[in-house]
Amino acid sequence: MKVVAFNGSPRKEGNTYQAISIVKEELQREGIDVEIVHVGDKLIRGCIACGMCYKNKNERCIIDDEVNDWIQKMKEADGIILGSPVYFSSIAGTMKAFLDRAFYVASANGNFLRHKVGASVVAVRRSGGVSTFNQLNNYINYAEMLMPSTNYWNVIHGAKAGEALQDEEGVQIMRVLGKNMAYLLKLIQNGKDNIEKPEKEKKVYTNFIR
């Protein structure tokens, strides 16, 4: 099994990376391969609402950059981790630009993220961690992914790179998340040939203004 983790921090080995790495260690201990992709230091523009991913249905965004490679990594993976630092109580801008485009392309192409395992992790100095965590989870929920839990919200605290490792509760949160994510991945792997998936329903779109 394979998990791909996206580090939305500009700092390659900052506290977001440390959080992801703790989860990664637990997954690897259970024999699950993990790749970390550094998103936060790239020049990624946001969705331009052109609708070409729905028209072309080629699993690609019309903006030709690294996002298209990352989309394929997401498609091929069994599990996905979304990691972000907190910027003004929200997801870091580059990470959000990537997520908007990637999840829109997935939705436009039959929602190939459906029933994959997805988890979010957040690194923050002081405040805004839970709101950012909730925002990341919006992508996972919209895609009908399956989300493992842990013993608190998936937030770890630290300012300077590496300080998050001093947050004993945060470290435990990430460690338990890794264990539970591995467990859920294995349950799906062992049950997919024995339990029929629920039928996928065609999305109903309703506007509030008529």
Domain edges within the chain: 2-191
Could you give the CA distance from residue 184 to residue 117 in angstroms, rounded to a whole number? 8
pLDDT the model gives residue 205: 87
Name the pLDDT band for 146 (thresholds 50, 70, 90). very high
Q: Give me the chain's average pLDDT, please.
A: 97
Q: pLDDT tens for residues 63-98?
A: 999 999 999 999 999 999 999 999 999 999 999 999
DSSP state of 165: G
Name the pLDDT band for 120 (thresholds 50, 70, 90). very high
Stretch 187-198: mean pLDDT: 92
pTM of the complete model: 0.96
Stretch 134-153: mean pLDDT: 98
* Strand (E) or helix (H) holding 106: helix 93-108
- Interior/surface letters 171-208, b for 16+ CB within 10 angstroms, e for the rest: bebbbbbbbbbbebbeebeeeeeeeeeeeeeeeeeeee
CATH of domain 2-191: 3.40.50.360
Stretch 155-162: mean pLDDT: 96
Name the pLDDT band for 193 (thresholds 50, 70, 90). confident
Could you give the CA distance from residue 186 to residue 180 in angstroms, rounded to a whole number? 10
